[in-house]
Amino acid sequence: MVISVDHLTWMYETMYKIRYYEDKMAEAYAEGKNPVFNIGAGPVPGEMHLATGQEPAAVGICVHLKKEDTVTSPHRPHHHAIAKGVDLNRMTAEIFGKVTGLGKGKGGHMHLFDPDVKFSCGGIVGAGIPHALGAALAAKKKGTDWVAVAFIGEGAANQGAFHESLNMAALWNLPLIVVIENNQYGISVPKSASTSVPSNDIRAVAYGMKGYYVKDNDPIEMYDVSKEAVERARKGEGPSIIEIETYRYLGHFQGDPELYRDKNEVTLLREKDPIIRMRQFLITEYGIEEQRLIELENKAKQEVESAYQFARESDDPNPEDALNDLFV
C-alpha cells in the first residue's frame, strides 16, 4: 500500500511526541517519591500507567480518524489521547491536578475527557467498550459515517463487556472497532496464563465480523489494517477487531518492581524500537531528509515542553470547589 507522505510524517511526529511526553511524565511523576516510593507524594500523586513502546497502536488507527469519531481508552491513555488530538495543555494540567485541566483537576490521568475531539478514558478494565458501542449506535442512528474505536489491553478481552458488546455490534452492524493492545502482560500475568486463544483477532469469527492481527508492533501494518477497518465501518460494513502485538518498556505502573519478567526483556525490545524503525523507513523508503525529521522532532518537543510548563504554572483548584460539578 502506498501511504501519503503527510500521513507518514504525522505518524512519526506523533509517535515521537508520545514518547517524549511519556518520558517527561516519568520524570515528573518521580519527583518527591524517592528514596522511598510514596505514591501520594510529588506534583503528580496517585497511580501512573505509561505507554512507552506502544505508540504504533495509537497512531496507526488515529491517522484515519476525524474529529467526529469517538475514541475510548483504558487506564493507559496518554498515547491515544495525544493521537486523537486532545488539548495537550489541558490534558497535562489535569494530570497535575490543576484547575485548568480537562476536568478542573478532579479526574487525573485515568479520567481524561475532551468532548471537543470525542475522547474519554477510565480505569475500569473493559468499561470503555460499551461506551464506544453506544457512540457507534448513535452514529448509525444519526445517519453519519462516524466510527467509534475502543482501545483495550489483551486482558480486557476476557471481560464480559467485551463479548457482550461485540455480539451487539455485529447483530446491529455498528461502526465499532476494538483495538486490542497485546503488550504481553495483564498487570503481571502473561497472556499465555490467562487467555485460551493465541490471539484475540480469531475471536472475531464467533461474532461474524472481521479480525486483524498486527505483528511485532509494526506501525505501517497497523496503518494498513486500520485503514481497511475504518473504511469498512464508514461504508456500513460492520465492526472489526484489531489485535496488535505491542510492548510496554515500563512496568504496569510507575513503581512496579517488574519481578515477573526477565531483566533482559526490555533491553531486547528496545533494539527493535518502533520509532527508530519508522524513522529509518521514512529515510530509506520515502527519501525523507533527516533534517525534516529533526524539525518534526523539535516541534514535538516544544509542544510537550509548553504543555508541562502550562501545567506547572497553572493554579491548584480551590478547596471550596471540591463538591462542584458532581452528579451525586
- In sign, the C-alpha dihedral spanning 213, 215, 219, 221 is negative
Which CATH number does the domain housing residue 165 bear? Answer: 3.40.50.970
108 Rama class: left (phi>0) / alpha (psi -120 to 50) / beta: left
**pLDDT at residue 320 is higher than 90:** yes
Residue 146 pLDDT: 98
Report, in angstroms and rounded to the nearest whole number, the Rg of the chain calculated over CA atoms: 19
Count H helices, E strands: the chain?
Answer: 11, 9
| 35 prior amide bond cis, ω within 30 | yes
User: Per-residue confidence at 73, pLDDT binned at 50, 70, 90?
Assistant: very high
Whether 318 maps to a domain, the answer reads no
Whether 322 maps to a domain, the answer reads no
Whether 321 maps to a domain, the answer reads no
From residue 36, how far is each of 31, 65, 230, 255 by CA, in Å?
11, 43, 47, 10
Whether 137 maps to a domain, the answer reads yes
The grid coordinates of residue 169 equal 455490534
**pLDDT at residue 1 is higher than 80:** no
Residue 327 pLDDT: 78
User: Per-residue confidence at 328, pLDDT binned at 50, 70, 90?
Assistant: confident
Rounded mean pLDDT, 37-52: 95
Give strand pairing partners of 121: 73
Residue 127 pLDDT: 96
**Segment 80-139, tens digit of pLDDT:** 999 999 999 999 999 999 999 999 999 999 999 999 999 999 999 999 999 999 999 999
Rounded mean pLDDT, 23-33: 97
Average pLDDT, the chain: 96
Q: Phi first, then psi: give them for residue 117, nearest 5 degrees.
A: -120, 10
**pLDDT at residue 19 is higher than 80:** yes
Residues 202, 76: Cα–Cα separation, whole Å: 24
Give how many domains the chain has, as a whole number: 1
Give strand pairing partners of 153: 181
Q: Which amino acid is at 208?
A: G
Domain membership of residue 247 as a residue range: 5-32+40-313
> Shortest CA distance to 212 belongs to which of 230, 194, 195?
230
Residues 102, 112: Cα–Cα separation, whole Å: 7
Alpha helices in 31-105 (DSSP H): 55-62, 78-84, 88-95
Whether 325 maps to a domain, the answer reads no
Rounded mean pLDDT, 216-231: 98
Kind of pairing between the strands at 119-121 and 113-114: antiparallel
Whether 279 maps to a domain, the answer reads yes
Rounded mean pLDDT, 140-152: 98
**pLDDT at residue 211 is higher than 80:** yes
Whether 327 maps to a domain, the answer reads no
What is the percent of the chain where pLDDT is above 70?
A: 100
Residue 27 pLDDT: 97
Rounded mean pLDDT, 242-269: 96
**pLDDT at residue 42 is higher than 90:** yes
Residue 326 pLDDT: 83
Rounded mean pLDDT, 220-236: 98
Residues 82, 192: Cα–Cα separation, whole Å: 31
From residue 305, how far is each of 71, 233, 261, 298, 312 by CA, in Å?
25, 37, 33, 10, 11
Whether 153 maps to a domain, the answer reads yes
Residue 182 pLDDT: 97
Residue 2 pLDDT: 85
